[in-house]
Structure 1
């Protein structure tokens, strides 16, 4: 049976055949006809047998790759971020893996879940799962192995720094509930703090619960909402959080798309529970999507002060559409606009630049008349400068040397221990660590030397040049070591901060360093007597004039 004929027939709905030449559908018909002929030729004449479903899948992937990066084809091979944000949980072990030195390394372990109970720690390198080598697998391939039904088991083999042998442990999959709010606390001067990690479908419930727990903890008249590194999530959850603070019938968001149902104006529907609470929103360049909806609404309605750095700039709305039982299409369906009419999308991709825009202006006004710009993201009312480290420290961070040393340093300690921090007298341990396993070559200055010292160049470079390279390498190492010693105290602080994170967890580490957090310091200052001045700057200027 010639399956290509049936595929081609399927691609040509009868409604297209009658399309007129000046009709858009005529172009669609012609394009599908060309696609069908190309497929038929490949199926009939290609030197090897072709897989019809794989060809079609790759065609879809190629098609959506020409659009924006948020429109994509997805196969059902385990929960994606959009899946667990829409349910509030995923089936797994309770850890997060990322590439460190090109190896799949555990970078987060959720307290109380199977991985934590089994003794896995940050820094453990995954070797195999159920006898399948996973050390250098890409994230998608690894996810297909990790996915499974709740209650099923998997055998993990992993390596822990400082141990000669690998370890083996069997762990059971379970339902892992996403913590939208990992922690909250009253920090000082009647100021409450809530960290919001993402906007899952249950984020507004978690946020309300956090507020209730803060009320039990003590009285507060100001609130810091931390949206730093929050990638966004479910639109409706962000709107329900806004309704806790803004007056009823306030415009929160506008969406505009091709279809009528994707063009809506969203207003607050309820009387706010916290109408007079002073609010500061923390954002950075990784605050995106729903985070920007919240920050933009607080800013445009003059309901709160935005602190930090310009946000990511994602002003597009996506919808997930099932294609069949094994695949789905995640598609951009609209642009969104803050209450003042701004679209903060950074890059327009193939979307017509001003399509659906509510105004041609680049300057917009908040409720109190403050000027806000249409630009690549939400610009804060109070800017916090990015922490600038010396270049030598940037090298240590991006090459994972700080992380790897902290993992090695803490491997011998139990999580309950208090005396684990590196002191100045022990700094030689770090210098010795740099000498091991050619770690000096991770520095940008020495990478060309390593390349030239490669065996394949031995016959090309003269012995004199090789000697010169050796002298240059020794000199550069000496300069790097001198630079490291000059920044010893700062490096020790970073090592101890990472060590605290590994042994004590994220919440403990955050509050242990809160007094030096520039965002928190600026938020506390802005929530003082300056608060009304910031939000009413335009009104006050008019009175003075």
Structure 2
């Protein structure tokens, strides 16, 4: 009986295994046949186009367009990288290239130096912000696109080049030697009061964790007893660098992030492997809607372990992992291979690209379907919509006149003139232009175009548009004209109404002329609501503890 009973129990699974195996084999074969068929159709199509199309075609360009269109159907992070773009891609992931070490761009009238990076050939040779680039070696670049000028400035390390620029009214020549440029992940760190250290982390390329480690060590040696880690506007980068940064503040052996995908070889749990620098120092992390990917892993892991108070605004919500796969002819593809999950178990991916492909519009996870998870202390955190801060800071809203003055390059141009007239200024944190300087700025604007539409004007335009359709429009037309006149009168005084705001923007731009990127970041910390709130938490352990305890949510 027992043996008889055992026979069907063994026999039936064997049939199922054989059937499922055959079915799976058949499905796989069908899929491989479909792939081969469509690849053959694509190749045949390109060949026939090349033979029959009325005009000459560029096969490389046509195929690249086709590949990119195909990948756009998946998600924005799966990208084709042809051989000629490999160097640019390597620079994005490593932060390294060979050149002069300067950001260039067009500010009207041609390409100019927008920011020479400290310690590299452009800055050390004497090139300055707002220098118009006229020639690179013997090549006239005054009318060339920015991308072409950038390529001419790059080249093998230790090779010479000459640059002719226009500065104010003078034409100047500079001889430089290209060097290997490694862009800093931490463009600035320093103490912002007697006890508070501040670290700006702008990227996650190679050595990001080493730079943060050095910053923490140096700040502590200077007497910092609490830290602010600023991840605002950080787009992310290398996952292992994020793990190492988390490890600076939490013990060895703790899970930081887990990746799960379709293939077994992309499934991995990343844990801390080193003794932390300081697992007790009070820590605040700043995030905003442009903090993404690796930045979200750092912020989310520190939140999940209740190790830091998060301040700012909800992060971007990129919970996808990409892997670079080599292709033939030195091309590559960066493909999404997994989703990542932070220690509480949540995935913070905000957009469902599978659903998006089906319905044609971006599909986000509805609040009703967001799952609840718990931090180490039992606080409730949720998945599916980025990292939510523990304390919200509203985005700073600037007046329309401020946007217009920046967009019209009037702030930029006045700062350049100020630099030409003044040899030095005070340190970045204390510098501000005087009232007389502001009056000079107003005179500088005379005759310059900086028209803009205020919020009230836009409302008036909408009101007038709808009112024209009403029978009583003629009766209220004169009243509308009177209101519009008053609005225009107020607009003329906007330079005085928003004086402090415009002065701050002007001061920060002027600081960049003397102290470059580092100084501009430092100057921006003054009157920063997120920094002020962070300092209030760091100076009040009870306030921080209340946030980090389970009773806070």
Q: Secondary structure at the match of 1:335?
A: strand
Determine which of 276, 282, 285 is the counterpart of 1:278: 282
Give the structure 1 partner of residue 441 of structure 2: 430
Deviates more, 1:251-260 or 1:75-84: 75-84
Give the structure with the larger helix fraction: 2
How do residues 121-200 of structure 1 correspond to structure 2 at under 5 angstroms?
121-135=128-142, 138=145, 140-160=147-167, 163-188=168-193, 190-200=195-205
User: Counterparts of 1:354-373 in structure 2 under 5 Å?
Assistant: 361-373=370-382
Aligned equivalents of 2:109, 2:254: Cα separation in 1: 49
Q: Which stretch has the larger CA shift, 252-261 or 47-56?
A: 47-56
Structure 1 residues 420, 369: closer, same or farther in 2, change over 3 A? closer
Counterpart CA distance in 1 for 2:238 and 2:414 is: 38
User: Deviations along 1:216-272, whole A, 9 cap, x unmatched?
Assistant: 222x43221111222212110110111122233322112122221112222222343
Q: CA deviation at 1:512?
A: 4.7
CA RMSD of aligned residues (A): 3.4
Q: Tell me, yes or no, if structure 1 residue 335 matches structure 2 residue 335.
A: no
Q: Give 1:166 shift.
A: 4.2
Residue 239, structure 1, aligned to residue 243, structure 2:
yes
The answer on 1:507 being equivalent to 2:507 is: no
In 2, the alpha carbon distance for the partners of 1:214 and 1:314 equals: 31
Provide the TM-score with structure 2 as the length reference. Answer: 0.79
Q: Which residue of 1 aligns with 2:9?
A: none
Query: Structure 1 residues 143, 376: CA separation in 2 closer, same or farther (over 3 Å shift)?
Result: farther
CA distance in 2, matches of 1:326, 1:194: 38
Query: For residue 468 of structure 2, what is the aligned residue in structure 1?
Result: none
Do residues 439 (structure 1) and 449 (structure 2) align? yes
How many angstroms does 1:412 deviate by?
3.1
The answer to whether the 8 A contact 1:415-1:504 is kept is no
Q: Is the 8 A contact 2:117 2:517 kept in 1?
A: no
Larger Rg: 2
Q: Distance in 1 between matches of 2:316 and 2:251?
A: 27
- Contact 2:349–2:383 (8 Å) recurs in 1: no
8 Å Cα contact 2:86-2:331 kept in structure 1: no
Q: 1:41 aligns with which of 48, 52, 67?
A: 48
Instruction: State whether residues 157 and 169 of structure 1, in contact with CA within 8 Å, keep that contact through their aligned partners in structure 2.
Output: yes
1:495 aligns with 2:506: yes
Establish whether residue 401 from structure 1 lines up as the match of residue 410 from structure 2. yes
Paired residue total: 490
Is 1:60 aligned to residue 77 of structure 2?
A: no
Counterpart of 2:38 in 1: which secondary structure? helix
Q: Which runs of 5+ in 2 are unaligned?
A: 1-24, 358-362, 458-483
Shift of 1:204: 1.5
| 2:198 partner SS | strand
Q: 1:444-523 residue pairs with structure 2 within 5 A?
A: 444=453, 480-512=491-523, 514-523=525-534
Asked if the contact 1:280–1:305 (Cα under 8 Å) also holds between the matched residues in 2, the reply is yes
Matched, 1:258 2:262: yes
Alpha-carbon offset, residue 308 of structure 1:
1.2
Counterpart in the other structure of 1:105: 112
